[in-house]
Structure 1
Amino acid sequence: MSDAVVIVGSGLAGYNVARELRKLDAAVPIVVISRDQAGFYSKPMLSNALAGKKTAATLVMKPADKMAAELNARVVSSTAVDRVDADRRELTLAGGEVIAWRDLVLATGADPIRLPLQGDAADTVLSVNDLDDFARFAEALDTAAQGGAVQRVAILGAGLIGCEFANDLLARGIEPTVLDLADRALARLLPPQASARLQDKLQAAGARFRFGVGAQSLQRGPEGLVLTLSDGSTLQTDLVLSAIGLQPRTALAQQAGAQVARGVVVDRQLATSVPHVYALGDCAEVEGLLLPYVLPLMAQARALAATLSGKPTAVAYPAMPVVVKTPAWPTVVCPPPAGAAGQWSVSETEESVEARFTAIDQPEQLLGFALQGKAVAQRQALAQQVPALLG
């Protein structure tokens, strides 16, 4: 039986657990398998790359060969995994190669949720979830510009990614229209006052918002694309970008026989229900929590590396504020736990918004916060007052 640790996925989760493991164990064989080119880049940078004049090529910090050398690991790029056999501790690659493992780490990420749109242009809807997606999106923007078309982009979803891309498109002189079934921007993360201020700032910069409507069909028209909305109205646009959420990739975990719920179910040591199979990152559901952010991922990588090196370690989540990349109105949010019994109190000035979510039965207990404008400077101070999500 192999003594290798095999990691499926070369995103931040996969490469960071490999890095942390190599720090702790200089000898263990590591194999990283990637369905893309396996270059190292930071996925969060995709939603503000336009403002920084970045391309898919310049976003890559290190190509696969340099990552292999740095990690003293084998990196298998542009290769999918066809089959996982947990009993034999083997996986089969698309080309037929069989790789055995001591431990298998699933860092497979998540797929964009696809809306079931009707219409002859439904297949043109884009999502940006990885480097190849960004390359296609950037090419589509350039193609529209070269064709002399007005650069109008409809964004489906006014959540974190939708608002970040709206801000980023403004840097290219593009007027985005953001659509959402909810009644406001970042409705799941922010109190209404903070949502309103973010929307106002983005609108002042050139973005448009339409709430309470969804997309139903997308047709080709004489002047671009025609998006038909749930209220019967239409919107003329050149491109449609979907940013309505992610669905964890669980197929390989299911094939291995691991328990799956919203994501791949793992315990505090990132172990699935199948011995020697682990999961982390966007695909992993830790004690009911799916947290597709960088800080939880980094905490998972450190804990799992320790476990894989022989020191079983439970992942811990301190308060982890999320920085929303909207330079038009800087925003940081530390969401309260789902279902927490509490209420928001909001203080506003022209230059800032400070919102605190406190417990109803213990009003002095801070459970979460949202900071905007100059108030984002308080991020660290307030984070220290919020209880750990997983202690």
Structure 2
Amino acid sequence: MHPIVIIGSGMAGYAVAREFRKLNPDHELLMICADDATNYAKPTLSNAFVGKKAPENIALGDAAKMAAQLNMRIETHTWVKAIDAVAHELTIAKDGQEQKQPYSKLVLAVGANPIRLAISGDGSDDIHVVNNLTDYKAFRTSLAARQDKRVVILGAGLIGCEFANDLQHTGHQVTIIDLAPYPLVRLLPEHVAKAFQQNLAETGIKFVLGTTVEKVSKVDNGDYLVTLANGQSVIADVVLSAVGLQPNASMAKASGVHAVRGILTNAHLETNLPDIYAVGDCAEVNGTLLPYVMPIMQQARALAKTLNGESTSVHYPAMPVAVKTPAAPLTVLPAPAEVEVTWETEEFDDGMLAKATDSEGTLRGFVLLGPTAAKQRLTLTKQVPDLIPAAV
């Protein structure tokens, strides 16, 4: 019997391996990854400063530890060049040598890549992205080398705001730049977003919205001049891009796996090719991309059962997202994009609660800003229908 092969050593890949081992301690498992397979919780990267966590303290286990813990072979620094779905075989490359690797079932847990904006200037190559622990180490090294600690963040989305909060509260001076008119534009209604922005601004975070970065130039003393489309400019010690992620689907598509935004799967996380599955940030499940921790855990549990012979569809209960911005405590349960909703808002001294209801009066999403509103998280979550119901 050939091994079950997992491509990718991120949170999704390790979650599948962990859940499968709970059900089946013996079937051969093989993880293949292009990096060193260090296991860590990616969400900790955007609040590691406040948590006083140095990069070397974020890792939960190296490849050797994880291989022993999960009774799994891990091939690090190995690239998958092609998938032969008919032969159930991979072409892999390591140390410049190509070889074939058969599989019984294949799990694509290949994650997503940072979107990079087209920015001119001789400093554009120095713009940091933080999509993994290696990226984060490089970012922290650049910060440590600078005295003024002025950080420009491109992107006022979830990750950009989390990093801004973390940096501003640890002696840095943060400016967030985004084309959108307010932060978290994909998650929040405008009135809540502006209150959220005000809370962050009161900590010293500067917002420059409604414009984009055109150029990043090196200037004296290792500084960077960030030139904006609206004619303004900002001096930075370090520039961080957090404008979003794009599912890593190129290798899968080249091998005949269907992909649109991400790798397309049904509710069983099956792709169009037999015995090939997708999970995590790369997976577009029934047309939905959910790059958050709770959906990944739901996917991993369902897929582990399927891999063990019990065909199981993923079940998405209502899964609120907690945004790690202590200066403006925020919990969001986005309403489905295809559902037309009406917002009702209740204000408190320390924030607000906004509820999104559909035409039939059913609660489809909510936003909780501040400590008082946060107390209603559990009650409201129970009222929201499942996104993808469990299989009947």
TM-score normalised by L of structure 1: 0.96
Between stretches 10-19 and 217-226, larger displacement belongs to 217-226
What per-residue deviation string (whole Å, max 9, x for no partner) do you get for residues 345-384 of structure 1? 111122121010011x223x11100001111121111000
* Matched length: 384
* Poorly superposed stretches of 4+, deviation over 3 Å: none
User: Quick one: percent identity of the two aligned structures?
Assistant: 45
SS in 1 for 2:31: strand
What per-residue deviation string (whole Å, max 9, x for no partner) do you get for residues 156-202 of structure 1? 11010010000010132101100111110111111222212221121
Contact 1:193/1:346 (<8 A) preserved? no
- State how far apart, in whole Å, the 2-side matches of 1:267 and 1:346 are: 36
- State how far apart, in whole Å, the 1-side matches of 2:375 and 2:60 are: 29
Contact 1:281/1:292 (<8 A) preserved? yes
Q: 1:325 Cα shift?
A: 0.2
**Counterpart in the other structure of 1:387:** 385
SS in 2 for 1:21: helix
- State how far apart, in whole Å, the 2-side matches of 1:266 and 1:339 are: 19
- State how far apart, in whole Å, the 2-side matches of 1:266 and 1:99 are: 23
**Counterpart in the other structure of 1:114:** 116
- State how far apart, in whole Å, the 1-side matches of 2:294 and 2:34 are: 24
Between stretches 324-333 and 48-57, larger displacement belongs to 48-57
Contact 1:3/1:28 (<8 A) preserved? no
What per-residue deviation string (whole Å, max 9, x for no partner) do you get for residues 223-266 of structure 1? 51111111122111111111111000012211321101000001
**Counterpart in the other structure of 1:299:** 298
Q: 1:151 Cα shift?
A: 1.2
SS in 2 for 1:289: coil
SS in 2 for 1:144: coil
SS in 2 for 1:240: strand
Q: 1:12 Cα shift?
A: 0.8
Structure 1 letter corresponding to 2:125: D
Q: 2:125 aligns with which of 117, 123, 126?
A: 123
SS in 1 for 2:145: helix
- State how far apart, in whole Å, the 2-side matches of 1:351 and 1:117 are: 39
- State how far apart, in whole Å, the 1-side matches of 2:271 and 2:54 are: 37
- State how far apart, in whole Å, the 2-side matches of 1:98 and 1:362 are: 55
**Counterpart in the other structure of 2:212:** 214
Pairs within 5 Å for 1:46-65: 46-65=45-64
Structure 1 letter corresponding to 2:121: G
**Counterpart in the other structure of 1:183:** 181
Structure 2 letter corresponding to 1:116: A
- State how far apart, in whole Å, the 2-side matches of 1:237 and 1:385 are: 45
Q: 1:3 Cα shift?
A: 2.3
- State how far apart, in whole Å, the 2-side matches of 1:53 and 1:171 are: 11
Between stretches 43-52 and 189-198, larger displacement belongs to 189-198
Contact 1:317/1:389 (<8 A) preserved? yes
**Counterpart in the other structure of 1:373:** 370
- State how far apart, in whole Å, the 2-side matches of 1:40 and 1:380 are: 30
**Counterpart in the other structure of 1:159:** 157
- State how far apart, in whole Å, the 2-side matches of 1:42 and 1:246 are: 17
Q: 1:10 Cα shift?
A: 0.8
- State how far apart, in whole Å, the 1-side matches of 2:346 and 2:313 are: 38
SS in 1 for 2:299: helix
Q: 1:214 Cα shift?
A: 0.5
**Counterpart in the other structure of 2:35:** 36
Pairs within 5 Å for 1:120-269: 120-145=122-147, 150-223=148-221, 224-269=223-268
Contact 1:303/1:313 (<8 A) preserved? yes
SS in 1 for 2:128: coil
What per-residue deviation string (whole Å, max 9, x for no partner) do you get for residues 103-128 of structure 1? 01000000000001111111001110
- State how far apart, in whole Å, the 2-side matches of 1:261 and 1:183 are: 28
What per-residue deviation string (whole Å, max 9, x for no partner) do you get for residues 318-338 of structure 1? 110000000111100000000
Between stretches 131-140 and 76-85, larger displacement belongs to 76-85
Structure 2 letter corresponding to 1:106: L
Structure 2 letter corresponding to 1:82: K
SS in 2 for 1:94: strand
- State how far apart, in whole Å, the 1-side matches of 2:250 and 2:210 are: 33
Between stretches 47-56 and 288-297, larger displacement belongs to 47-56
Structure 1 letter corresponding to 2:52: K
- State how far apart, in whole Å, the 2-side matches of 1:104 and 1:55 are: 35
Between stretches 91-100 and 252-261, larger displacement belongs to 91-100
- State how far apart, in whole Å, the 2-side matches of 1:46 and 1:68 are: 23
Q: 1:24 Cα shift?
A: 1.0
SS in 2 for 1:236: strand
Structure 2 letter corresponding to 1:369: F
Q: 1:25 Cα shift?
A: 1.2
- State how far apart, in whole Å, the 2-side matches of 1:215 and 1:390 are: 38
**Counterpart in the other structure of 1:11:** 10
Contact 1:281/1:300 (<8 A) preserved? yes
Q: 1:204 Cα shift?
A: 1.2
- State how far apart, in whole Å, the 2-side matches of 1:26 and 1:130 are: 29
**Counterpart in the other structure of 1:362:** 360
- State how far apart, in whole Å, the 1-side matches of 2:134 and 2:73 are: 22
- State how far apart, in whole Å, the 1-side matches of 2:194 and 2:232 are: 24
User: Structure 2: where are the runs of 5+ without partners?
Assistant: none
